Structure 1
Amino acid sequence: MWKPDRKSNIALYEQIADHLEQRISCGEFPPGSLLPSERKLAEQFDVNRSTVISAFAELRSMGIIESRTGSGTRVSTSKWGATPKNTPNWSRFAEGSNFLPNPAFLRRIREALAQNPSLIDFASGELSADLAPTDEITALMRENAYTSYLGYDNPQGSMPLREALVEYLNTYRGIRTTASSILITSGSQQSLFLIAQCILSPGDAVAIEDPSYCYSLPMFQSAGLRLFRLPVDNHGVQPEDIRALYKKHRIKMVFLNPNYQNPTGTLLSNERRKQLLDIVSELGIPVVEDDPFSLTSYEGVPPQPLKSMDTTGSVLYIGSFSKIAASGLRIGWMVAPHAIVERLADARQQMDFGLSIIPQQVVGQFFQSSYLGPHLERLRIGLQFKRDLLIQSIEKELSGLIEYVIPNGGLHLWCKLIPNISDSKLLEESIKKGIVFVPGSVYGSDLGYVRFTFARTKPEEIALGISRFALVLRQLIE
């Protein structure tokens, strides 16, 4: 992000005024639009608020902006030859859409990381560079010739990738399927989005875990769905809760993350899996199984997915390349009845005409290569090492202040704070100390929880990050 040059002979406030004028003239801030606050710009440009006030004064003197007490600072409508009657109200367009923005905490975390990339990151749910198979994928790209055709591919996904997934799912997940029953997506979130928008209808009732990653995705509310909670304990959801919700609300679908659940890290017990499948089969309710973390099992034996136990076709299975290899390639998949795959592929074609062919070829070749098995073993070892470092640091710095259950897989440690602390204060003070995490309330939970994600954090940063968090927590308790 742009910042003023402190070595320049031009005053900081003049640099900021010139920068804002350029953004205004390029249409980033149209006539009549509201500018960010003085405080926010001061944080963004890493200057004193008085410097931004001087920059605003310079722009006001040129008639470029105008300020009103209680209404903030806006771009002038007269300076640019525009009048309110012919200037679109872009703020109303931005705020009036049915598609809701991300939760405020997630937007604040993204903003903080953009402003200060050196923050110790316990928030991002992706693998660090040392855990990704970068060298292996580079070697594959050198060794293999890629198609010379760079046009649109099948909206259902590349056939070679789907065929590779048939073998991969059978070998690693115990799921028997066919290429025609697989839809390639840009990741788990697109799979969930397609289901919410194209299979369900506004007003439909669905059940999701509590806490759950799904609560952090406003796509469900944007689709007009009614969300009902399935509380998660140390063994996952209680299957009988599904029956109760069906009787009371006629839920039409259940969304589950049964293996190393995000955010709690819990594993749905085998007994409950069987009971759950019996209940949804009896009621005729489909289950969407999101399974991004199974192959991270630290014990080396991945838990069985619900889909591999599904004898009645009740489970839509979602997987992703992001959590086991490389998020930047944007490859996910869904296993579903062919009628559903066709419906969602048609919707995908309306959105983007299908994914880029080259990442699909790369991922298909990686799945069929000798690199896959050794990479997964290194991934498990690396994640377990980071998890253990995190737990050691918490035991040292936060003993008596935090409770948790040690996960046997996944990327997250779910923690309950014993003192009652405001989520917003804890996050803001932590950002000032150089760390970010996700407050538990983002996931629908009660106040007093935090999710520490250790996949992105460098091993040498973990102890320092937790010591900073402990310092903030103790200061807020006093």
Structure 2
Amino acid sequence: MWKPDRTSKKPLYQQISEQMERRMLYGEFPPGSFLPSERRLADLIGVNRSTVVQAYAELRAKGIVESTTGSGTMVSKQAWGPADGLSPNWRNYVEGGTFAPNLPLIRRIREVLRVKAPVIDFASGELSPDLFPNAAVKQLLKQAPFEATLGYDDPQGYLPLRQSLVPFLEQRLNIRTTESSILITSGSQQSLYLITQCLLAPGDAVAIEDPSYAYSLPMFQSAGLRLFPLPVQEDGIQPEDIISLFRQHRIRMLFLNPNFQNPTGSILHPSRRAQLLRIAAELGIPLVEDDPFSLTSFYGELPQSLKSIDTHGSVLYVGSLSKIAASGFRIGWLIAPQSVVGRLADARQQMDFGLSVIPQWLANEFISSSLFDEHIGLLRQSLAAKQREMMACLRRELGDEVQFVPAHGGLNLWCKLHSAVDDFKLLEECIKRGVVFMPGTVFGSRPGHVRLSFARPGLNEIGHGIAQFARALRSLL
């Protein structure tokens, strides 16, 4: 992102004015479109708001923008020479379409993470760079010659990777499948997107956990689906709740994250798993099991996946390398009946002609080597240590003002604040102090809950970040 040159003799406001005029000439801001607000542009490029005010005044003096109180600053429709026709009303196009934008709180957090530095990130569900398997990747690139074709690959995914996933999933998660029932995707989110777009129709009713990561995904809204909640308790959802929802709304599909659930960290109790699958089979409802965290289990034994005990073919299983290796791999997988895999592979081919073979090749080399098990062992130790540090800091800084249950795996700690505060105000107070977190309402919960991810910040950053979070909270009480 462009920023003014503070070493230049040219005043900052003039650099900004010239840059914005250049972007108008390039068509980034066509006639009739609105420029960023003064405050937002100041945050984006790291200057005082008064500097942007002066830059916009310069543009107004040239007659190429117009400002209206309450509306903002708009590129003049007359100042760019005679026009034989109208410029497209890009605002109408941007606000139209069927693909819903991210929630405002999420957009605000991502904007801060993109332009504000440094920020202690308790919001992102992503591993810190020091937990990425960089050394393993370098070693694999040196010792394993790349021999795959660089042409369009099978729309279902790179065959050697699918073949390697068969023993990988059986040995680690007791999931039995074949390469023909696996679709390789660019992460779990693409699997979920394909399911909502290809297997469901606008107006269909689906059940999701409450709270749930699914609430933060506009893809359900974009697909026109009706969402109905399944309350999450300490032992997960109550399977009986599905029966009443089905009777009332004719639920067509269930979306669940039974292991180290996002955001609560809960594990669906073993006794409820068999009951859940029995109910789903009796009602003929498919179940989507989103399982990004199972292999992060801090204490050795992994929780059982629903797919591993599914005897009716009811479960569509979604996994990826994003939370257990690196988000940049962009490698996920979906296990489903072959008819479903064929339908989704056809749709994905229409989108992008399939994934790049290079990351698929690298992922195959990684999960097939002993380096993966070494990586997972270190990852579990590091995540457990980070959670312990976060819990100790929360107890020290907030004491009885916050309540939480330690997670046994995953990347997040779900916290209940004993004093309800406005999510937007708390987030903004934290941003001022160089910290971001994910408000609980993003996941559909009542105000007074927050999700603090311990995966992204360094171990030595957690204490300072929690101290700043505590100061922000107390400033609003």
TM-score, normalisation: structure 2: 0.98
Does structure 1 residue 192 correspond to structure 2 residue 186? Answer: no
The offset of 1:144, in angstroms, is 1.1
The offset of 1:37, in angstroms, is 0.9
Which residue in 2 is equivalent to 1:451? 451
Which residue in 2 is equivalent to 1:267? 267
- Letter in structure 2 aligned against 1:282: E
- Letter in structure 1 aligned against 2:152: Y
Asked whether the equivalents of residues 77 and 84 of structure 1 are also in contact (C-alpha less than 8 Å), the reply is no
TM-score, normalisation: structure 1: 0.98
Which residue in 2 is equivalent to 1:347? 347
**Residue range with higher mean Cα deviation, 138-147 or 423-432:** 138-147
SS in 1 for 2:206: strand
Which residue in 2 is equivalent to 1:61? 61
Aligned pairs (5 A) from 1:91-102: 91-102=91-102
Cα distance in 2 for residues equivalent to 1:84 and 1:74 = 20
| Unaligned 5+ runs, structure 2 | none
Asked whether the equivalents of residues 161 and 360 of structure 1 are also in contact (C-alpha less than 8 Å), the reply is yes
The offset of 1:134, in angstroms, is 0.8
**Residue range with higher mean Cα deviation, 182-191 or 42-51:** 42-51
Q: Deviations over 1:338-369 (max 9, x none)?
A: 00000000000000000000100000111111
Cα distance in 1 for residues equivalent to 2:267 and 2:256 = 11
SS in 2 for 1:398: helix
Which residue in 2 is equivalent to 1:407? 407
The offset of 1:83, in angstroms, is 4.6
The offset of 1:86, in angstroms, is 1.8
Aligned residues: 477
Asked whether the equivalents of residues 33 and 90 of structure 1 are also in contact (C-alpha less than 8 Å), the reply is yes
Which residue in 2 is equivalent to 1:154? 154
SS in 2 for 1:255: strand
Which residue in 1 is equivalent to 2:6? 6
Does structure 1 residue 384 correspond to structure 2 residue 348? Answer: no
Which residue in 2 is equivalent to 1:221? 221
Which residue in 1 is equivalent to 2:467? 467
Cα distance in 2 for residues equivalent to 1:58 and 1:459 = 47
Q: Deviations over 1:305-327 (max 9, x none)?
A: 00000001000000001010011
Aligned pairs (5 A) from 1:9-408: 9-81=9-81, 83=83, 85-147=85-147, 149-408=149-408
**Residue range with higher mean Cα deviation, 332-341 or 6-15:** 6-15
Cα distance in 1 for residues equivalent to 2:379 and 2:397 = 27
SS in 1 for 2:377: helix
Cα distance in 2 for residues equivalent to 1:287 and 1:30 = 47
- RMSD (Å), alpha carbons: 1.1
Asked whether the equivalents of residues 162 and 182 of structure 2 are also in contact (C-alpha less than 8 Å), the reply is yes
- Letter in structure 1 aligned against 2:234: N
The offset of 1:430, in angstroms, is 0.2
Which residue in 1 is equivalent to 2:430? 430
The offset of 1:85, in angstroms, is 4.7
**Residue range with higher mean Cα deviation, 46-55 or 421-430:** 46-55
SS in 2 for 1:29: coil
Q: Deviations over 1:256-299 (max 9, x none)?
A: 00000000000000011011011101111000000000011011
Cα distance in 2 for residues equivalent to 1:178 and 1:416 = 43
SS in 2 for 1:86: coil
Cα distance in 1 for residues equivalent to 2:286 and 2:82 = 54
- Letter in structure 2 aligned against 1:137: V
SS in 1 for 2:421: coil
Cα distance in 2 for residues equivalent to 1:28 and 1:400 = 51
Asked whether the equivalents of residues 59 and 65 of structure 1 are also in contact (C-alpha less than 8 Å), the reply is yes
SS in 2 for 1:460: coil
Cα distance in 1 for residues equivalent to 2:350 and 2:135 = 35
SS in 2 for 1:146: coil
Q: Deviations over 1:415-438 (max 9, x none)?
A: 011011100000001000000000
| Unaligned 5+ runs, structure 1 | none
The alpha-carbon distance between structure 1 residues 404 and 83, as it changes in their structure 2 partners (threshold 3 A), is farther
Percent identity between the aligned chains? 59
The offset of 1:151, in angstroms, is 1.4
